[in-house]
Every structure is written in structure tokens, then in C-alpha cells.
Amino acid sequence: MSQTKDALLVPDLDRIPLALIPAIALLALPLIPSLPTWVTLTIAGLAMGMMIFIMASGLTLVFGLMDVMNFAHGAFITIGAFVATSVLIPLAGWTQADSLWMNLAAMLPAILAAMAVAGALGLVFERVIIMPVYGQHLKQILITMGGLIVAEQSIHVIWGPDIISLPKPATLRGSFILGEIAIEKYRVVAVIVGLAVFAAMLLLLNRTRIGLLIRAGVEDSEMVESLGYRIRRVFVGVFVAGSALAGLGGVMWALYQETVSSAMGMQVMILIFIVIIIGGLGSVGGCFIGALLVGLVANYVGFLAPKIALGSNILLMVLILLWRPQGLYPVAKR
């Protein structure tokens, strides 16, 4: 049975990309002056990677399954963040209270609202904007970009153009201190949430019938239809789930940065594109590894040479593409 799991999670000849993560971490070790700093940066990198994974996973799966690249994905991230803000700010009494339960009681509706709104918007977007242009890549790119512009401007209309500040809940501020090492509490939460999302996705994809359909559909949706399944119906579900995840990612990202602005989705989209290109379009596992790599590189380089931080991720992408032109785990497409 374990062989099956491996085969489904990672093509079994292919552990090399997994090894990249500890490799980069270890590479950075001698470059960083103190061990505590290295630990802090590594955790920061993993946390950032997890959040990017949450935001990017929906996009890569949608592309793999539906052959649709939603350039407006960033808008769902932003909208998730803004919706959460609208819920959290009135509940400031709960979020600033020193009780974990009260904090969570405030965060939970915020997260659920963000995911619900982002998901609902995803549904409308898919049916109204994307469905008419299935298969026409040029129009898809144009129209999703247009959707992005309209969405971004609509956010201004509803929430105004200013940047909103969003402080973290009281119990999630600060760090755990282990000897000389300080580990931010929020980053730990981010890692936990990210791992939970990843585990849930793996479970869904590998242990359920729907997951089977999705995995097969990513490879060859025509064949899945020939086997008698109406895979178009699954498309919508995946798109909505991807949008909801983007909303979740947006909330987490907003709390991480403690600011919410209408450009935040666009800003993180570049990183998301880099991540899914590195991982291989359509591969959730690749997306996970790619996200962690990008997070780690961004933090290490951000510490060592801040000027080239974003550039370094683009270089990482180029290097990986030179090694594997289709990304770490290319998905076999018809």
C-alpha cells in the first residue's frame, strides 16, 4: 500500500525535488551568521511558502484540469482579505482580547466569510466570464486580465482606495522563545494551516472518487468523458474551491503583513506564477515544493541581499526551468 501512496503523491523515481528543500536550507546555513537567525529565517520561509501554497494550489489545479489560466486569481486573494477585514474590525474587542478562544471566535467567521465570498465570486466568474471562452487561450488571457482590472477597481468602490491596517489577534502576536531562538507564533500557525490544507488536498485527491476524477482529468479530460463522467461539472467545483482557497490565503497573508491594500493580490501574483511554473502546471505536489522553495529563497536572500530578493526568485525559476523545462513535476497532458 505504501508503494501506491508514494506513486500517487510523487512519481517514485522522483525524490530529487523534495531534496531541494533541505538542500537550500542547508546551503543557507553557513551563509547566515547565527544559528538562531537561521532558524527564524527558515521558519519564516516555510510560513511564507505555506501561505503562497494555499493561494497557488487552486490556480495550478484549475489550469491542469480545465486548461484555464485565471489571471484574475489575485483579485480573489484581495477580496478574501478585504472581506475578513470587514468582519474583524467590528470584532476588534474579541481579537484584541487576551484569550485564544475569543481570538479564534473572531477569526473563524472572518475566514469562513472570506472563503465563502471568494468562492461565490469564483462561481460567478467561472460561469459568466470564463466558460464562454473555454479552449481559446488568447481570449482567456485577455478576459481574465480584464476581470482583474474590474475586480480591483470594484474593491476601491466598495472599500475605498486607502490601505487598511489589520493587526494580528492578540494571542497570535509575539514569539515562542526557545533559548536564543525566537519563533513567531503567527508563522507557526501559518505552517500548521498550510500543512492542514495540503493534507486535506492529498486526502481528497488520493482517497476519494472525485479526487480520482480530478487527477485523471488533469491528465486527459477527454478520456474521462469517454469513460462516462461529466467532468465539466467538476470544473466548476474545482474553480470555486480554488477561489475559496485564494480567499483563505488572502486572509492569512493580510494578517501576516498586517495591512490590506487593493494591490496586494497583484503583488503576490508574481510569486504565485513563479511557484506554479517551478512546480509544474497542474501538479499540487510540485506547487507545494515550489512554494516552500520560493518562501525559503525569498527570506534567505531577503536577509543576505535585500535588493535582489524578488529577482532571486526569478533566477531560481530560470535555473529550475533549465533543469526541467516543464517544472519539477510535469503533468502528462494529451
Specify whether the CB–CB gap between 235 and 125 falls below 8 A. Answer: no
Q: What angle do CA 191, 194, 197 make, to 5 degrees?
A: 150
CB of 135 to other proteins, least distance (A): 12
From 171, 58, 163, select the one nearest 107 (Cα to Cα).
171
Which 217-246 positions form the footprint of other proteins (CB under 8 A)?
219-220, 222-231
Give the Cα-Cα-Cα angle 306, 308, 314 (nearest 5 degrees): 135
Q: Can residue 164 be called a binding residue for other proteins (CB under 8 A)? A: no
Among 104, 105, 120, 212, binds other proteins (CB under 8 A): 212
181 lies in the site for other proteins, by CB under 8 A: no
Cell of 108: 473563524
Helix axes 185-207, 231-257, angle to 10 degrees: 170
- Residue in 39, 204, 310, 324 binding other proteins, rule: CB under 8 A: 310
Only segment of 17-25, 93-101, 149-157, 169-177 that touches other proteins (CB under 8 A)? 149-157
CB 8 to other proteins: min, Å: 7
Q: Looking up cell 492542514, which residue turns up?
A: 196
Among 120, 182, 216, 236, binds other proteins (CB under 8 A): 216
Alpha helices in the chain (DSSP H): 2-9, 16-31, 35-66, 73-88, 92-95, 100-124, 137-159, 185-207, 209-226, 231-257, 264-279, 284-304, 309-323
Q: Is 322 in the site for other proteins (CB under 8 A)?
A: no
Copy the grid coordinates of residue 208: 476519494
CB of 65 to other proteins, least distance (A): 13
**Residue 308 in the binding site for other proteins (CB under 8 A):** yes
Q: At 283, list the grid cell.
A: 501538479
Q: Residue 204 interacts with other proteins (CB under 8 A)? A: no
Catalog residues that contact other proteins under the rule CB under 8 A.
1, 3-4, 7-8, 11-12, 63, 69, 129, 132-133, 137-143, 145-147, 149-150, 153-154, 156-158, 160-161, 212-213, 215-216, 219-220, 222-231, 266, 270, 273-274, 277, 281, 307-308, 310-311, 314, 317, 325, 331-332, 334
